[in-house]
Structure 1
Amino acid sequence: MTSPAGNVLRLEGALTMRTVAEMLESGRRRASEGDLVVDFAAVTEADSAALALLLDWLRAARAAGHELAVRALPAGLASLAALYGVDALLPPSGARPQ
């Protein structure tokens, strides 16, 4: 489901209530170790659980004093973030931590 590459965490496949639990801790660890780009380009399906996962990782990164950026956020997930009023919390798509 995930593929680490330097400071990029490439998510793959479906990110739904059935799949995100297995990624929670590994993403938290990566976010707390240093700046991170979460790449959604290979995500085939995403629901509100994917948004909750991303917000959890963002919280973990900030708590550790690191940045988290999002790349290729699916339109449906961006729409959900806007609907829930949390879109302003997400770093700009395509941003890369320094």
Structure 2
Amino acid sequence: MSGLKLPPRLRMDGARAAWTQMSPALRAEAAQVLAAAGREVRLSAASLKDFDSSALSLLLSAARQCSEQGATLKLDDAPDKLRELARVYGVAELLWAPQQPAAGG
């Protein structure tokens, strides 16, 4: 399991610094995953408590960076409020695969 984690606070005033710190780690993690014949770069959002829409921007940038390297970003333990914010902004499907209907109806 990856050690990549979002910070507890991710707001406009700190988003650029967070991306500057996270981008090289994400690039290195993607390279390791691909070298091991994997495809998913895992990022934990479990500690994310205080955030605004800039968190979505950072996550979209992270997903794009992974995609450019041939990997897929998998966001784990996202808070419900983050999922709702992504839905309101119309980007939820870019961060999470749509839920598949249950088999059998």
Interval containing the TM-score (normalised by the shorter chain)? 0.7 to 0.9
Partner of 1:91: 96
Paired residues for 1:1-98 under 5 Å = 7-33=2-28, 34=30, 35-92=40-97
Structure 2: stretches of 5+ with no match in the other structure: 31-39, 98-105
The number of equivalent residue pairs is: 87
Question: Is residue 32–residue 66 contact of structure 1 (8 Å, CA) maintained in 2?
Answer: no
Show structure 1 runs of 5+ residues with no match. Answer: 1-5, 93-98
Q: Which residue identity is paired with 1:62?
A: S
Report the TM-score when normalising by structure 2.
Answer: 0.72
Q: Output one character per residue of 1:35-73: Cα deviation in whole Å (capped at 9) or x when no partner.
A: 421111111211100010000010010011112100111
Partners of 2:42 and 2:3 in 1: CA distance = 5
| Partner Cα distance (2:61, 2:3) in 1 | 17
Q: What root-mean-square deviation, in Å, do the aligned CA atoms of Structure 1 and Structure 2 show?
A: 1.7
Give CA-to-partner distance per residue, 1:65-86, whole Å, 9 cap, x none. Answer: 1121001111111111111111
**Cα-to-partner distance string for 1:2-43 (whole Å, 9 max, x where unaligned):** xxxx63311232111112111213322233331421111111
Q: Secondary structure at the match of 1:8?
A: coil
TM-score between the two structures when normalised by the length of structure 1: 0.77
> In proportion to residue count, which structure has more strand?
1
